[in-house]
Chain A
Amino acid sequence: MLKKSKRTMLFSPADTPKNLFTAHLYGADCVIFDLEDAVKYAEKDAARDLLAEALRVMDYGDTQIYARINPLYTEFGRADVETLVPAGLRRMRLAMCEKPEQVRELDALLTELETKYGIEPGSCQIQCSLETPLGVTNALAVATASKRVESVSFGAEDFTRSIGAQRTKAGNEIFLARNMVVMAAAIAGVDAVDTVWADINDEAGFREEVRMAMNLGFAGKSCIHPSQIKIVHEVFTPSREEIEKSLAILEAAKDADIEKGGVITVNGKMVDIPVIAKAEKVVRLARGAGIIA
Chain B
Amino acid sequence: MATEQQVITKSGITLPSRIDGYGEVKPFAGAFATAPQGKKYAPAKGTCPPGTVKVLGNIAEAIEKTGLRDGMTISFHHHLRNGDYVLNLVMDEIARLGIKNLTICASSLTNAHEPLLEHIKSGVVTGLQTSGLRGGIAKAVSRQNILGKPVIFRTHGGRARAIEAGETKIDVAFVAAPVSDPMGNINGCEGKSAFGSMGYPMVDAGYAEKVVVITDNLVPFPLKRISIPMTLIDYVVPVESIGDPEQISAGAIRITKNPQELLIAERAAQVLIAAGAVKNGFSFQAGTGGASLAVCRFIKDYMRENQIKGSFGAGGITATMVELLNEGYFETLLDTQSFDDSSAKSMAVNASHVEMSASMYANPHNKGCTAHMLDIMILSATEIDEEFNINSLTDSNGTIMGALGGAPDTAAGAKLTLVVAPSMRKRIPIVKDHVTHISTPGETVDVLVTERGVCVNPRRTDLIRALTEAGIPLKSMADLRREVEKLTGVPAKPEYTDVIVGVVEYRDGTVLDVIRQIKENQ
Q: Which residues of A contact B (CB under 8 A)?
A: 17-18, 21-22, 25-26, 57-58, 225-227
Contact = CB atoms under 8 A, between A and B. Distances in A.
B259 A227 contact: yes
A225 B486 contact: no
B259 A226 contact: yes
Interface of B is mostly: helix
Contacts of A18: 427
Contacts of A57: 486-487
Given A21-B487, A25-B452, A226 B427 contact: no
A79 B486 CA distance: 27
Which 4 pairs show the lowest CB-CB distances between chains A and B?
A226-B259, A25-B451, A21-B487, A26-B263
Interface in B219-259: 257, 259
B262 A227 contact: yes
B34 interface: no
Contacts of B11: none
Interface of B: 257, 259-260, 262-263, 424, 427, 451-452, 486-487
B13 to A, nearest CB: 32
B68 to A, nearest CB: 51
Contacts of B263: 25-26, 226
Contacts of A58: 487
Contacts of B257: 227
Contacts of B260: 22, 25
Contacts of A21: 424, 487
8 contacts: A22-B451, A25-B263, A26-B263, A57-B487, A58-B487, A226-B263, A227-B257, A227-B259
Nearest to B427: A17
Contacts of B451: 22, 25
Given A25-B451, A26-B263, A58-B487, 13 more contacts: A17-B427, A21-B424, A25-B260, A25-B263, A25-B452, A26-B259, A57-B486, A225-B259, A226-B259, A226-B262, A226-B263, A227-B257, A227-B262
A258 B344 CA distance: 72
A227 B452 CA distance: 17
A227 B257 CA distance: 9
Nearest to A229: B259
Nearest to A54: B487
A26 B451 CA distance: 9
A221 to B, nearest CB: 17
Nearest to B450: A25
Nearest to B257: A227
Contacts of A26: 259, 263
A18 B452 CA distance: 13
The listed residue with most B CB atoms (<10 A of its CB), out of A25, A58, A227, is A25
A22 B259 CA distance: 10
A22 to B, nearest CB: 6
Contacts of A22: 260, 451
A21 B487 CA distance: 8
Contacts of B486: 57
Contacts of A25: 260, 263, 451-452
Contacts of B259: 26, 225-227
Nearest to B422: A22
A231 to B, nearest CB: 13
B215 to A, nearest CB: 42
A31 B62 CA distance: 65
A25 B473 CA distance: 14
Q: Which of A21, A26, A58 has the most CB of B within 10 A?
A: A21
A58 B257 CA distance: 26
A18 B451 CA distance: 13
The residue in A18, A22, A227 that gathers the most chain B C-beta atoms within 10 A of its C-beta is A22
A151 B348 CA distance: 60
A225 B487 CA distance: 23
Nearest to B258: A226
Contacts of B424: 21
Nearest to B260: A22
A57 B486 CA distance: 8
Contacts of B427: 17-18
A226 B256 CA distance: 13
A290 to B, nearest CB: 12
A258 B278 CA distance: 52
A58 B260 CA distance: 18
Contacts of B487: 21, 57-58
A20 to B, nearest CB: 9
Instruction: Pick the most buried of B262, B424, B427, B487: most chain A CB atoms within 10 A of its CB.
Output: B487
